[in-house]
């Protein structure tokens, strides 16, 4: 009997990537194998959409893709389609009404129910919709099928206690729920034992971690504890909220060698009036003071951010305030978004929605400024040495010039010229020193020989993964007790 196969399609943030690794682990534990076919469905028997409700046009994108899948399903008897994630939590029964060929709809709180719901849909031959209002089990406790042998996501909390007027996440992910530090550290040690050498701590607001069990310094303590784990070379985290960013976190970043000198902290707007309307409980001066403190303690830190253009009521003066803050902040990169209405959010019904043409013009000016600053910051690194963790699937693959890509300690993307012969090249997961020879706004290049290349346990794990039969390596059991569009 031929094994049934699955394919997971992920939209949205790193938390969704993390959840998709758990979805894959659950499906493999229940006997399915990852599909290796071509096309949107990859020829799979089960296709899972892990959706996002935050990105612009998320609804249109999902229903457009489901419409395409209907035609594929007609040609593939027995195929099942499941929809999970934030859009499923939001739309619930609407998904099956608009796309009756969908077999399963499951929410953000009951990822672990997916295999049971798929079996029930097959047996009863009707769609199964199950949306829980509270978290059933922490996603990190579920089986996992990681996409990387040398890097991993570790969730420290789910949900959010903030009430930003543009954001629907608290409605879909619920109030913040924190994992205990011992469980987090046990998962990290398990990952390191498997060859992982870089972890990213995930939460909707990581520096609020500990509020549930009454320890406001819990996040700084967690960073320092990561520094005591042998074999863990790089620690990152995303995303902090400026209102909760404290000096003890900055000290932990500066004094813990394996915590990387990079920080992603959303600004959203440089206008104090707009920040108030967004219900962001900090102002531009507070934001810039945090950046100054970070750079005083970690001079070479690269700082990135999120910015929304065209929030309701944003005037020309408000937008100029944002440009001024961007000029002072000197971000190494910024994710810039044009505001769009999210049904169910307070901002969606605010007066003075900004005309699309005005938003577009402001957006283009902001992107131009961000790129100019990022390029200037990158050019300052030409001639300097940086440590690169080589990666799979990062940036371009240029066979003609024999390039590989990876991330510097500050998370900048680096394209590196590598030896012509594959046996002499670094493997994904290996680490080496390179000299920056060219800078662009969004990446660095190195055309000089790699120095001090280390063949790492992460590289060994990558090599073992790619030498093993599909589905036999890379599946962990989670706790013993996975991008920007």
Nearest-angstrom CA–CA distance, 201 and 207: 11
Q: Do 404 and 305 share a structural domain?
A: no
Look at residues 12, 85, 15 and name the one whose alpha carbon lies nearest to residue 48. 85
Catalogue the long-range contacts made by 32-38 (C-beta closer than 8 Å, 24 or more residues apart).
Answer: 32/3, 32/4, 32/5, 32/6, 33/3, 33/4, 33/5, 33/6, 33/470, 33/471, 34/5, 34/6, 34/7, 34/145, 34/470, 34/471, 35/5, 35/6, 35/7, 36/5, 36/470, 37/5
pLDDT at 52: 85
Q: Which of residues 184 and 56 earns the better pLDDT score?
A: 184
- pLDDT over 70 percentage in the chain: 94
Average pLDDT score over residue span 201-219 = 93
pLDDT at 50 over 70: yes
Q: Do 152 and 29 share a structural domain?
A: no
pLDDT in tens, 261-319: 999 999 999 999 999 999 999 999 999 999 999 999 999 999 999 999 999 999 999 99
pLDDT at 55: 67
Longest CA span, the chain: 67
Residue 35: domain span? 5-133
Asked whether the beta carbons of 476 and 143 are under 8 A apart, the reply is yes
Q: Do 244 and 215 share a structural domain?
A: yes
Question: Which region among 109-113, 197-201, 307-311, 427-431 has the lowest average model confidence (pLDDT)?
Answer: 109-113
Nearest-angstrom CA–CA distance, 66 and 84: 13
Q: Do 308 and 401 share a structural domain?
A: no
The pairing of strands 262-264 and 33-34 is unpaired
pLDDT at 483: 33
Nearest-angstrom CA–CA distance, 266 and 238: 10
pLDDT in tens, 4-13: 999 999 988 8
Which of these three, 379, 396, 424, is where a domain ends? 379
Residue 484 lies in a domain: no
Residue 296 lies in a domain: yes
Model confidence at 1, in pLDDT bands (50, 70, 90)?
low
Q: Do 289 and 256 share a structural domain?
A: yes
Q: Do 93 and 153 share a structural domain?
A: no
Nearest-angstrom CA–CA distance, 450 and 475: 32
Residue 373 lies in a domain: yes
Residue 468 lies in a domain: no
**Domain holding 116: CATH number?**
3.40.50.12160
Q: Do 301 and 169 share a structural domain?
A: yes
Model confidence at 154, in pLDDT bands (50, 70, 90)?
very high
Residue 473 lies in a domain: no
Average pLDDT score over residue span 33-49 = 91
Which of these three, 379, 409, 428, is where a domain ends? 379
**Domain holding 299: CATH number?**
3.80.30.20
pLDDT in tens, 380-428: 999 999 999 999 865 455 555 588 999 999 999 999 999 888 788 999 9
The pairing of strands 80-85 and 431-435 is unpaired
Residue 479 lies in a domain: no
pLDDT at 472: 39
Q: Do 401 and 266 share a structural domain?
A: no
**Domain holding 428: CATH number?**
2.40.50.140
Place of tokens 């949205």: 12
pLDDT in tens, 156-165: 999 899 999 9
pLDDT in tens, 133-149: 878 777 778 888 888 99
Average pLDDT score over the chain: 90
Residue 480 lies in a domain: no
Average pLDDT score over residue span 336-357 = 91
Which of these three, 114, 133, 152, is where a domain ends? 133
Q: Do 434 and 286 share a structural domain?
A: no
Q: Do 150 and 263 share a structural domain?
A: yes
pLDDT at 399: 53
Neighbours of 135 (CB within 10 A): 18
The number of distinct structural domains making up the chain is: 3
Question: Which region among 100-109, 341-350, 396-405 has the lowest average model confidence (pLDDT)?
Answer: 396-405
Helix H or strand E segment including 403: strand 403-408
Model confidence at 322, in pLDDT bands (50, 70, 90)?
very high
Residue 265 lies in a domain: yes
Question: Which region among 50-54, 269-273, 454-458 has the lowest average model confidence (pLDDT)?
Answer: 50-54
Out of 85-94, 126-135, 168-177, 375-384, give the one with best mean pLDDT: 375-384
Q: Do 407 and 348 share a structural domain?
A: no
Q: Do 237 and 154 share a structural domain?
A: yes
Nearest-angstrom CA–CA distance, 372 and 368: 6
């Amino acid at each position: 009997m031929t094994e049934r196969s699955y394919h997971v399609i992920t939209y949205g943030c790193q938390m969704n990537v993390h959840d998709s690794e758990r979805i894959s682990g659950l499906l493999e534990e229940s006997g399915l194998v990852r599909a290796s076919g071509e096309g949107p469905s990859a020829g799979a028997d089960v296709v899972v959409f892990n959706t996002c409700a935050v990105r612009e046009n998320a609804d249109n994108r999902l229903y457009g893709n489901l419409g395409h899948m209907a035609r594929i399903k007609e040609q593939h008897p027995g195929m099942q389609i499941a929809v999970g994630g934030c859009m499923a939590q939001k739309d619930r029964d609407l998904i099956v009404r608009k796309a009756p060929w969908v077999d399963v709809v499951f929410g953000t709180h009951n990822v672990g129910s997916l295999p049971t719901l798929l079996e029930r849909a097959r047996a009863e031959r009707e769609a199964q919709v199950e949306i829980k209002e509270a978290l059933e089990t922490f996603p990190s406790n579920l089986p996992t099928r990681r996409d990387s042998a040398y890097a991993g996501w570790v969730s420290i909390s789910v949900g959010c206690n903030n009430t930003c007027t543009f954001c629907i996440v608290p409605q879909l992910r619920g109030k913040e729920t924190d994992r205990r530090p011992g469980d987090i550290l046990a998962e990290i040690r398990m990952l390191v034992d498997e060859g992982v050498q870089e972890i990213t701590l995930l939460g909707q607001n990581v520096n609020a971690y500990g509020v549930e069990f009454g320890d406001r310094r819990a996040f700084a303590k967690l960073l320092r504890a990561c520094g005591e784990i042998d074999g863990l070379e790089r620690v990152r985290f995303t995303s902090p909220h400026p209102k909760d960013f404290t000096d003890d976190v900055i000290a932990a970043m500066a004094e813990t060698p394996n915590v990387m000198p990079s920080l992603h902290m959303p600004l959203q707007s440089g206008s104090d009036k707009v920040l108030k309307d967004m219900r962001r409980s900090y102002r531009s001066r507070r934001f810039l003071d945090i950046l100054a403190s970070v750079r005083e303690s970690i001079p070479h830190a690269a700082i990135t951010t999120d910015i929304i253009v065209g929030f309701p009521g944003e005037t020309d003066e408000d937008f100029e305030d944002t440009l001024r803050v961007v000029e002072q902040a000197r971000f190494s990169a910024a994710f810039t978004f044009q505001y769009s209405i999210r049904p169910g959010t307070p901002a969606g019904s605010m007066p003075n929605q900004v005309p699309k043409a005005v938003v577009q013009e402001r957006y283009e000016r902001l992107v131009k400024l961000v790129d100019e600053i990022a390029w200037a910051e990158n050019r300052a690194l030409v001639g300097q040495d940086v440590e690169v963790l080589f990666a799979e699937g990062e940036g371009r693959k240029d066979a003609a010039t024999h390039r590989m890509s990876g991330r510097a300690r500050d998370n900048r993307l680096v394209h590196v010229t590598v030896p012509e012969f594959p046996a002499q090249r670094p493997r994904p997961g290996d680490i080496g020193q390179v000299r920056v020879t060219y800078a662009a706004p969004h990446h660095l290049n190195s055309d000089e020989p790699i120095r001090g290349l280390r063949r790492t346990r992460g590289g060994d794990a990558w090599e073992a993964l790619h030498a093993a039969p599909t589905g036999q390596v890379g599946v962990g059991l989670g706790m013993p007790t996975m991008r920007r569009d």
